[in-house]
Structures are given as C-alpha cells and as structure tokens.
Amino acid sequence: MKIEQLIVQQLYNSKKVSIQDIGTFTLSPDVALPSENDKDAVMPENAVSFIFDKKAKQDDDLISFIVSQTRKIKPLATSDLESYSILAKQFLNIGKPFPIEGLGVLQKTQAGDYEFIQGQSINAKLEAAPALLKEKTEEEISFSTPPREQPGTKKWLWIILFVLIAAAGATLYYFLKKDNKEEKLAEQVTPVTDTLAKKDSIIKTTDTASLIKPVVPDSTAAVVKNDGYTFKVVIKEYQNKDVAQKAYDKYTTYGHKLLLYTLDSVTYKIAMPFNSPLSDTLHAKDSLRVFFNARTYIEKK
C-alpha cells in the first residue's frame, strides 16, 4: 500500500495527521469514510483543514499505523515517511502541485508557504487495504520451499570426487613402484661390510651353523661338481660372469664356503653346499634367505 493511502486512512481514523516539515491535516469529526459500494460519495466542503508548519515533527501515531499495516520495522516505516515528505517538498519547491490521492492537492504560494486545496472525491479503495496486507503477510512467512540447488553444485562435487580418486591412485602407484624398486635393489650385490658382519654373527648363533658343512668349490666358474654334498642353496644369480666373480670373492672373505658355477654359460649362480639330510633343506633355505636378504631356493644333486 502507498504511503499516501496510509496517511489518508489514518486521517479518517484519528481525524488528525502531521507530515514532517510540511504541516498538519485535520478532518472534521462528522466526516466518515463511505463504504466501497458508495461510489458517488463526495467529500463535504471544508471537511479537511491544513496548517502549514516547516518545523512539524514526526507523527508517532502515523508511524505506528504504517508499521501495523505494512509489517515493517519502525526504522523502515519512519524512513518511508521521510522519503514521502522529501518528495513532496521537491515538487512544491519547483512550483509543481503535489496531489494526495483521496484528499486533495498541496501547492506553494508566492510567499513561500504551502496551501491545501481539498478534493471532491473520497478514496473508497482504502477499505480494500487489509486484503492486500494479508496477501503480503502470507508471502513473507512462506519459507517452507527449500532453496533451489545451484546449477554448479553437482559439477563441483564431481570434480572434487575425481581429484580424490586420482590422488588415491597416484599414492597407490607410488608405493607399488617403491616396493618393486626395493625388491630389485635387494637382488643386486650391495651388501655393506658392517651389515654383513652383524648378519654373520646372527647366523652363527642359529641352529643352521650346525647344519653347514661347506665344501670348497673349484676356483673356476664351470659346471658344478658334487663333492659329497646332498643339496645346495642357491643364493644369488647373475647374468655377467665378472659381476658374479666379484660378489663371490666378497662373500668368501667373510668366511663363507660357497660355490660359483654355471650350467649354461648364461646364468652364474652363487650357492652354499650342505651335506645334511634333505629334511633340513627348508631350514637352511629360510636361514640363508634372511641372512643374505635374497630369494633363495634349493638345488639337489
């Protein structure tokens, strides 16, 4: 509802209304607002009087009436009324009349004062105001409809899910590659002297020491001969004879009795012979696997 309609309605209710910095309107006590069906109603002559007052204060009753009809908070209602007063003065100061629907017209005199000319018709639409306010109230309290989902929400969820899956895949690939690399390094001959010394002391304290009855191999890498052992544990395999010989020389300096041989001149093997019963093969293989950190296996006669 317009501010001017509320001003007119309040004037009919309280018979007196002040507009800030403009003046005060007073309605004759015997004038009543006609019903909506009375379309031919005419406002009696001199029913409304106006007193010009540039220092007119805010009308607290009018502000309270605006709050009750618009459901606005008091500061907003006060601001709306001030805006209406400013607009009216702008019209009047440039010499234009300022109409108030259902009431009359304000205009500025040559002396600079404001005068009021009463209208003849009465605004019968004022009675329909509560219905409009009711619709406004229902519209304001209708918060049951859930907020619509933003168009880009699902898109961002899919992007985040894709990034998380990619990160998990990259992490898994990194650890698998790392384990594979460590496994390959374990197959190469890279023992450190102090590490071998510690491992040598460990194996000598195990029961495998009583099982090892090494046989001195030939000095050349040839087809291995059986010099009385029942089986041997293959420790390392190499594709290069020089590398195999170097590893063999290093291992034997620690007191190990080993064999260096090849069966096809392609793969060179370093093995430790045993003349223990075949039932001890598993024990011997596992002990050497731990000691040399290698994939050991058994070769019989």
Element (H, E) at 297: strand 297-300
Last residue of a domain, one of 115, 140, 165: 140
Last residue of a domain, one of 140, 155, 182: 140
pLDDT at 157 over 70: yes
**Domain shared by 135 and 13, yes or no:** yes
**Domain shared by 104 and 37, yes or no:** yes
Whether 48 is covered by a domain: the verdict is yes
Look up residue 199 and give its two tokens: 């491992």
**Domain shared by 15 and 136, yes or no:** yes
Higher pLDDT, 200 or 33: 33
Number of structural domains in the chain = 2
Q: How confident is the model at residue 214 (pLDDT cuts 50, 70, 90)?
A: very low
Whether 170 is covered by a domain: the verdict is no
Q: How confident is the model at residue 226 (pLDDT cuts 50, 70, 90)?
A: low
Q: How confident is the model at residue 284 (pLDDT cuts 50, 70, 90)?
A: confident
Whether 55 is covered by a domain: the verdict is yes
Whether 188 is covered by a domain: the verdict is no
**Domain shared by 107 and 229, yes or no:** no
**Domain shared by 128 and 19, yes or no:** yes
pLDDT at 228 over 50: yes
Supply the pLDDT for residue 86. 92
**Domain shared by 199 and 136, yes or no:** no
Whether 279 is covered by a domain: the verdict is yes
Distance in angstroms (rounded) separating the CA atoms of residues 62 and 1: 14
pLDDT at 289 over 50: yes
**Domain shared by 109 and 203, yes or no:** no
**Domain shared by 132 and 38, yes or no:** yes
pLDDT at 61 over 70: yes
Last residue of a domain, one of 140, 166, 183: 140
State the residue for tokens 């045993």. Answer: 274
The stretch 244-262 carries a mean pLDDT of 87
The angle at the Cα of 205, spanning 199 to 210, to the nearest 5 degrees, equals: 115
Supply the pLDDT for residue 213. 42
Supply the pLDDT for residue 68. 92
Whether 63 is covered by a domain: the verdict is yes
Distance in angstroms (rounded) separating the CA atoms of residues 24 and 93: 18
Residues 6+ apart with CB under 8 A from 128: 36
Q: Given strand 231-238, what is the order of strands in its sheet?
A: 259-262, 268-274, 231-238, 297-300
Output phi, psi for 34, to 5 deg: -70, 165
**Domain shared by 121 and 200, yes or no:** no
**Domain shared by 197 and 136, yes or no:** no
Domain of 208, in residue numbers: 193-300
pLDDT at 148 over 70: no
Distance in angstroms (rounded) separating the CA atoms of residues 142 and 190: 78
**Domain shared by 25 and 132, yes or no:** yes
**Domain shared by 56 and 118, yes or no:** yes
Distance in angstroms (rounded) separating the CA atoms of residues 78 and 67: 9
The Cβ of residue 133 has, within 10 Å, a number of other Cβ atoms equal to 15
Supply the pLDDT for residue 142. 55
pLDDT digit string, tens, across residues 4-41: 888 888 888 888 999 989 999 998 887 776 666 666 66
Give the whole-number percent of the chain exceeding pLDDT 70. Answer: 69
CATH number of the domain at 229, please: 3.30.70.1070
Whether 71 is covered by a domain: the verdict is yes
Whether 221 is covered by a domain: the verdict is yes
